[in-house]
Chains A and B, each alone.
Chain A
């Protein structure tokens, strides 16, 4: 069977995406072929923009359009208060509650000896550097309330306690095993307000 070279190449590239098999890639490629030129341009440009315009904030590792994210650039936010979260999606979840006016640090996961993830695999060195360069007074640990999230909070609390005046952990209002990302806004809002001193 002979398949036109451009189609073959498109299928090849699409099937590299996670969760896309050969068959789906072929269906997607044929769909693109049938689509209007302007729709295809929109798709291509949105992907290119995603890659060229969006990356990780050099300070807090949240998603950013420039070198720094919107939150780090916003001078109205309380720069003395820092909230540590696992993923950029947690920043979105907390921002939606409108209960928080400080800044963030995204560490990119949790400690998990079983999966071979240690402190050096998380943005912890970068976090400690920030305490040297910025005047942070209070730390809020807002990691997920699951086993690994709690252990990571305890680890971070040990590290930052000597560096700031106050360390709090958000109250166990979040369902265990339920990600911050999926908890409803009211719950996260409540959890942010009632924090426990460590």
Chain B
């Protein structure tokens, strides 16, 4: 999948910007406030219908405008024209594929696989467990529509069940207890689907982490990923254990009106040479691990989906030393179409030039190539 051209209208600082891309590396260069990160955000929008950093569509609309529009041309075996139009007046987003309005998000997600590495990735290795669950959920969801549906279904089950727990606490009666049993069974049913997906994913994904880590760091360190679920359960009968824990925590669940057992409490642990990255990792190790995770995501999606994802890298060389930057820039050659933002070219002095690459400079709304 290749994005050959892109037009941004009233999208943050871009009034009307036209861009043409190479199918290899695209360096998007510009000072602060020139809108280079916004270009990545708009590509993410085209592929997923959402922003990677902003929760509301309105926030993205240029000041004093009534909406934004993005047009992108993708080439695979055939050409697809994607158009997103957001109307602030209606607070409504329209997604068109070859002039046909698409309304189900499931018809879009996973069709244009994309991987994005940004400075906010620090939360994946350094933040709360929910950040790591979000990270793996977004990868598995791109690869499996069924997983995405189950995640949505499970979230709704959690809300319904905690509402019921609250009602029982308020007014205990026998009838409500059998209702709770039904919601508990529903929780286990969807929860087990998620656990099985995550378990299989973790087993597969570690190979990709190890391979990327080796290329960037050499062989001295060995990374691992451990998936911990159902309170670190090590046995093989997940269903029995799930019900056992629910039974054990029933009174506490009622007292706190909260769901205390299930994959919404899973943890994903990263380690280097069997030492917890979160506890013992240096800043440099964290940063490297974040980069490794995104490279692993790229090669994982490429393998399971059979399509080469777009790769977006937002300002990655800033915090890395020259040796690692050099390794990463060599590694970039093994990707497909890639978009890399940077403030200037000094970080690239060590990189071999390639005629297929494009250097795109943004300056006060003007676009220059070369």
Hey, which bits of chain A sit against chain B, CB under 8 A? 111-114, 118-120, 146-148, 150-152, 154-155, 158-159, 176
CA distance A119 to B178 in the complex (A): 10
CA distance A148 to B164 in the complex (A): 13
Residue of A nearest to B159 (CB): A114
**B186 at interface (Cβ–Cβ under 8 A)?**
yes
* Beta-carbon contact of A118 and B160 below 8 Å: no
Partner of A148, one of B160, B175, B176: B160
Contact with A along B134-171 (1 / 0, CB 8 A): 00000000000000010011001101110110010000
CA distance A95 to B141 in the complex (A): 36
* Beta-carbon contact of B153 and A176 below 8 Å: yes
Residues in B whose Cβ lies below 8 Å from that of A120: 175
Partner of B160, one of A114, A119, A154: A114
CA distance A146 to B182 in the complex (A): 14
* Beta-carbon contact of A155 and B156 below 8 Å: no
* Beta-carbon contact of A151 and B182 below 8 Å: yes
Residues in A whose Cβ lies below 8 Å from that of B152: 176
- Beyond A113-B160, A113-B167, whether A118 also contacts B179 by CB under 8 A is yes
CA distance A158 to B178 in the complex (A): 9
User: How far apart are B149's CB and chain A's nearest CB, in angstroms?
Assistant: 5
- Beyond A147-B156, A147-B157, A148-B160, whether A154 also contacts B149 by CB under 8 A is no
Hey, which bits of chain B sit against chain A, CB under 8 A? 149, 152-153, 156-157, 159-161, 163-164, 167, 175-176, 178-179, 181-183, 185-186, 189
User: How far apart are B131's CB and chain A's nearest CB, in angstroms?
Assistant: 25
* Beta-carbon contact of B160 and A112 below 8 Å: yes
* Beta-carbon contact of B186 and A151 below 8 Å: yes
CA distance A114 to B164 in the complex (A): 8
CA distance A152 to B167 in the complex (A): 17
CA distance A146 to B190 in the complex (A): 12
CA distance A148 to B186 in the complex (A): 9
* Beta-carbon contact of B179 and A111 below 8 Å: yes
CA distance A128 to B179 in the complex (A): 16
User: How far apart are B259's CB and chain A's nearest CB, in angstroms?
Assistant: 12
CA distance A119 to B182 in the complex (A): 11
Residue of B nearest to A120 (CB): B175
Partner of A118, one of B156, B161, B176: B176
Residues in B whose Cβ lies below 8 Å from that of A118: 175-176, 179
CA distance A14 to B38 in the complex (A): 52
Partner of A147, one of B167, B176, B178, B186: B186
Give the 5 A-B residue pairs with the shortest CB-CB distance, closest first: A155-B182, A113-B164, A113-B163, A151-B186, A147-B156
CA distance A111 to B178 in the complex (A): 12
Residues in A whose Cβ lies below 8 Å from that of B179: 111, 113, 118-119, 155
CA distance A93 to B183 in the complex (A): 27
* Beta-carbon contact of B153 and A147 below 8 Å: yes
* Beta-carbon contact of B175 and A151 below 8 Å: no
A-B contact list, 7 entries, CB within 8 Å: A111-B182, A118-B176, A147-B157, A148-B156, A151-B183, A154-B185, A155-B178
Residues in B whose Cβ lies below 8 Å from that of A112: 160
- Beyond A113-B160, A113-B163, whether A158 also contacts B153 by CB under 8 A is no
CA distance A106 to B103 in the complex (A): 31
